[in-house]
A and B are shown apart, each in its own frame.
Chain A
Amino acid sequence: MTEFEAATAAVQAALDAGARYADARVMHRRYESMSARNGDIEELTQDESIGLGVRALVGSSWGFHAVPELSDAAAREAGRRAAATATASARVPGPPVDLVPVPAAVASWASDCAVDPLGVPLSDKGDLLVRATTTMREHGADLAEGLYQIWDTAKWFVSSEGHRIDQRIRECGGGISATSIGDGETQRRSWPSYRGQYGTTGWELVTSLDLAGHAARIAEESRELLTAPECPAGETDLILGGEQLALQIHESVGHAIELDRILGWEAAFAGTSWLDLSRLGSLRYGSELMNITIDPTIPGALGSFGFDDEGSPAVKRDAVRAGRWVGVLAGRDSAAVAGLGYGGSVRADGWARLPMVRMTNVGLEPGPHTLDEIIDATDDGVLMDLNRSWSIDDKRLNFQFGCEVGWEVKKGRRGRMLRNPTYTGIGPVFWRSMDMLSSEIVPWGTPNCGKGQPGQVGHTGHPAAPARFRNVRVGVRA
């Protein structure tokens, strides 16, 4: 039977078992990764997984069941069990759940891909990692690591409302890291970020990163960091590079505007949000320069798709406009609870996981400056880039980030390299202090966003550019 037929059978079985709404996804995912260390290939993995997950709504609860088979019998049994699981939840019932309307799309969509990443010879891909890690070793790194990852996902979605959508999304990316080990500490430099840059593109993205071309420089910088002065402690003007700002957006804006968190659905694990729906449209989130969109339509960005995993078409929306909070990441059920008219941000990590609210591409629109202009305009500050650690509280307010590298900025010039740079703050206070923003936007990809129970790994995109923040506390240490 075809994938659509299996999904249809599962949906029908769930309806027959008492569900008032059901949908099903068949997903076929191929994954390949290769890692190298110190000039040798460390691991080559190729995984392939296919299965069906069906979601049934009974009363106030979702039931979900997933099976690795596409036979008619297996699909129907999955549908029945999804409805039975939802029915059992009536022992602890909640208010009725509605779904905001979405046109029943019948469509196909595929991400752009110039060079099929799974079609590139393994020997070529391996040679790239071996060459880059060898170069890093030759230039002083004690530990030289390289990695690429490829996902090729085909999915078929059917709902009881008439959706019938197939999509193929190819994602890939990679990166290199050099670690130098000193007396009692380690220092790392990466390119273009730790564990790499990713997008919904073909191998052309990895080629464009020129991993081998950056290997010598980051190795030398990692060694230089061992003897660089510590980032000073205190309050100063902070300039963040685009890669670090992407993670700042991810943690302190992206997760905060997830509607399931705002509604308390993630309270026990991922946490809630400091945002209160009653202030949607009026809350001052950041400075006037802060314009953040939710945009799954960006070609090549890691959080792009044609339709989300409950059949809502990809649509660009504002999350923050001129510093004011105006939008959320929502699903059809959470939007209905909140009285909003849109979902569109629900995705599942494979066929065995329940779709849930996830970031798509959440990022900044370009500012009026350049990084050079920001440095020129800074009398006394610190420039930090490339994330090394991240931590934020369960309401997405109190954060502390560490970066791989910092530089003094004095009288408009980039000065000495600084090691162990960290900064800390409170989300809205920090964002309100942003007074310069570059136009040099890059859609950074984050392929490791954890959320949900059982755990799901999300792939998200974050357009970001260098920016300056005033009077930020830096240099926190043990």
Chain B
Amino acid sequence: MSAELDLAGRVVELVRRLAGPDAQAEVVVTRSELALSRFANSFIHQSVAESGTTVRLRLYTDGRTAAGSGSLVDTDGLTALVERTLTASRLAPPDPAWPGLTPPAPVPPATVFDEATAYASADERATRVRAFVDAVGGLEAAGYCRTAYRSGAFANSAGHSAVGRTAEAAMDGIARTGGSDGVARHCADRLADIDGAALGTRAAAKARAAVDPVELPPGRYEVVLEPAAVADLLQNLAWYGFNGKRYIERQSFAEPGQAQFDPAVTLVDDPLHASGLPYDLEGTPRRALPLVDAGTTRAVAYDRRSGAEAGAGSTGHGMVGGSTFGPIPRNLRLLPTGDRAAGGPGAAGGRVSGGVTGAVADPDTAALVAGMARGVLVTDFWYTRVLDPKRLVITGLTRNGVWLIEDGVPTRAVRDFRFTESYPRALGPGRVLGLGRTPVRQPDRVDGAWWEAPPLRLASWHFTGGASG
């Protein structure tokens, strides 16, 4: 038995002793070792690490619910957590929508775990930063290299339990020159797969290609979005569209069964595709959830409460803050051409070096750009926010490199745009003109969440402002 499962079991037993046999309790224990080395102006300026254990308890007794967490795991700390949560539940208003506990069910073990990543040292992170900085060839470099290890357990008073552990590494860096930035980022199950030199080389090439940008007039442009930019689409679709709570509240665009997207779009929330805990906050086993299949919306994500309200059951998306923000799929994959049974407008590998050198950094993107008569290549999006939740109209900016494409090659670097666009509309039927073959996993701001996509060519993107307003 793992130490975390032992702790979780002790809390369940404490609840039984202090609240009686009818109290329903679920306990999640997570031990974490998180470390991150940050660099800016080409040196490491902040390097941090934290160790900790969090115990989360949700308690339902006498028709009332309360939840709490604590960081103290000795007997006094656990007892205090149970007592204050029990007190809160007794004073809380009634909870008629309590969905009950997850019944016992097998939870498959996680398939990927790299011990070396879990216990990586500050030296190992610094080595990758050194490689990134060396690779940018004298440009300014900034970014981070991080590792995360979590070992966890779940237990509830219905007799269900689960354990798991996960390790993840990520690097995200920019190279800077003359007011222009280039970016490269990658998320992996093993720190050994994070290649600081390769990322630095790509970022530097993009930064050099982005100098002397011209300002283009706002308007609708055909675009190729690199995986960093596509990740933003996936993230916003997940938070506001495939979120079961928002769907129930009729605030989501999602209409399961409807062909809302281009047939080239197949989206899967696939937590077991990478290292991750195999259960959610409520102990529900996590599994792949097809959200969009060849353009047709198939499902939204639920936790137990929203799943009960929808009459659908949990899809394994219970998460901290889920009652407020809703259950959010956070391991989205936009499947590339080769991964789908029904082929879409996939792209063959293309020429990398045409036009502005460095603007197109891989064959996948090159193939999409090659088919474009006139349009814009976008590396990354920034500060995207929802203007209209129902239609998922988003405003935001481009970042880290934009280029004008003419006759299939990048001809000029372009100053950043502001855009205002409905994401589902941009991905709608007939609007996806191409999809790459090679997905790249992009890290989220927190470990455990990631967004994996190939580059994407879209028929239209609404740029509503330029750098000067």
- B window 382-403: CB within 8 A of A: 382-391, 393, 395-397, 399
Other-chain residue from B85, B95, B467 in contact with A40 (beta carbon distance below 8 A): B95
- Nearest CB of B to A222, in Å: 13
Q: Which of B9-17, B48-56, B258-266, B345-353 contacts A (4 or more CB under 8 A)?
A: B48-56
A-B contact count (CB 8 A): 281
Chain A residue nearest in CB terms to B70: A48
Neighbouring A residues of B42 by C-beta, 8 Å: 92, 94
Mask: chain B, 53-69; 1 = CB below 8 Å from A; 0 = not: 10000000000011111
Tally of contact residues, B, Cβ under 8 A: 96
Chain A residue nearest in CB terms to B389: A186
Q: Are the C-beta atoms of B387 and A420 separated by less than 8 Å?
A: yes
Within the assembled complex, what's the spacing in Å between the Cα atoms of A111 and B389?
38
- A window 239-266: CB within 8 A of B: 263-266
Chain A, interface size category, equals 35 or more
Mask: chain B, 289-324; 1 = CB below 8 Å from A; 0 = not: 000000000000000000000000000000000011
Chain B residue nearest in CB terms to A55: B48
Chain A residue nearest in CB terms to B95: A41
- Nearest CB of A to B270, in Å: 24
Q: Are the C-beta atoms of A64 and B49 separated by less than 8 Å?
A: yes
Q: Are the C-beta atoms of A123 and B387 separated by less than 8 Å?
A: no
Q: Does B41 contact A (CB under 8 A)?
A: yes
- A window 50-97: CB within 8 A of B: 50-51, 53, 60-68, 81, 84-86, 88-89, 91-95
Q: Are the C-beta atoms of B47 and A64 separated by less than 8 Å?
A: yes
Q: Does B176 contact A (CB under 8 A)?
A: yes
Q: Does B105 contact A (CB under 8 A)?
A: no
Chain B residue nearest in CB terms to A354: B48
Q: Does B126 contact A (CB under 8 A)?
A: yes
Q: Are the C-beta atoms of B71 and A44 separated by less than 8 Å?
A: no
Mostly helix, strand, loop or mixed at chain B's interface?
strand
Q: Are the C-beta atoms of A89 and B391 separated by less than 8 Å?
A: no
Neighbouring A residues of B384 by C-beta, 8 Å: 391
Q: Does B340 contact A (CB under 8 A)?
A: no
Q: Does B140 contact A (CB under 8 A)?
A: yes
- Nearest CB of A to B18, in Å: 16
Q: Does A208 contact B (CB under 8 A)?
A: no
Neighbouring A residues of B396 by C-beta, 8 Å: 391
Q: Does A35 contact B (CB under 8 A)?
A: yes
- B window 198-253: CB within 8 A of A: 249-251
Q: Which of A277-285, A365-373, A377-385, A424-432 contacts B (4 or more CB under 8 A)?
A: A424-432
Q: Are the C-beta atoms of B133 and A68 separated by less than 8 Å?
A: no
Q: Are the C-beta atoms of B389 and A62 separated by less than 8 Å?
A: no
Q: Does A352 contact B (CB under 8 A)?
A: yes
Neighbouring A residues of B69 by C-beta, 8 Å: 45, 47-49
Q: Does B416 contact A (CB under 8 A)?
A: yes
Within the assembled complex, what's the spacing in Å between the Cα atoms of A167 and B121?
34
Q: Does B106 contact A (CB under 8 A)?
A: no
Q: Which of A156-164, A392-400, A462-470 contacts B (4 or more CB under 8 A)?
A: A392-400
Mask: chain A, 106-127; 1 = CB below 8 Å from B; 0 = not: 0000000000000001110011
Mask: chain A, 442-462; 1 = CB below 8 Å from B; 0 = not: 000000000001110000000
- Nearest CB of B to A264, in Å: 5
Within the assembled complex, what's the spacing in Å between the Cα atoms of A467 and B41?
39
Q: Which of A177-185, A321-329, A339-347 contacts B (4 or more CB under 8 A)?
A: A177-185
Highest count of chain A CB atoms <10 Å: which of B34, B47, B70, B123: B47
Neighbouring B residues of A391 by C-beta, 8 Å: 383-385, 395-397, 418
Neighbouring A residues of B91 by C-beta, 8 Å: 121-123
Neighbouring A residues of B66 by C-beta, 8 Å: 44-46
- Nearest CB of A to B367, in Å: 29
Q: Are the C-beta atoms of A91 and B71 separated by less than 8 Å?
A: no
Within the assembled complex, what's the spacing in Å between the Cα atoms of A22 and B69?
30
Q: Does B354 contact A (CB under 8 A)?
A: no
Q: Does A99 contact B (CB under 8 A)?
A: no
Neighbouring A residues of B418 by C-beta, 8 Å: 391, 393, 398, 400, 424
Q: Does A42 contact B (CB under 8 A)?
A: yes
Chain B residue nearest in CB terms to A86: B47
- Nearest CB of A to B86, in Å: 11
Chain A residue nearest in CB terms to B129: A92
Neighbouring A residues of B35 by C-beta, 8 Å: 85
Q: Does A276 contact B (CB under 8 A)?
A: no
Q: Are the C-beta atoms of B386 and A68 separated by less than 8 Å?
A: no
Q: Are the C-beta atoms of A61 and B43 separated by less than 8 Å?
A: yes
Highest count of chain A CB atoms <10 Å: which of B65, B95, B465: B465
Within the assembled complex, what's the spacing in Å between the Cα atoms of A92 and B173?
14
Highest count of chain B CB atoms <10 Å: which of A40, A91, A268: A268
Q: Are the C-beta atoms of B41 and A185 separated by less than 8 Å?
A: no
Mask: chain B, 94-111; 1 = CB below 8 Å from A; 0 = not: 111100000000000000
Q: Does B81 contact A (CB under 8 A)?
A: yes
Neighbouring B residues of A266 by C-beta, 8 Å: 40
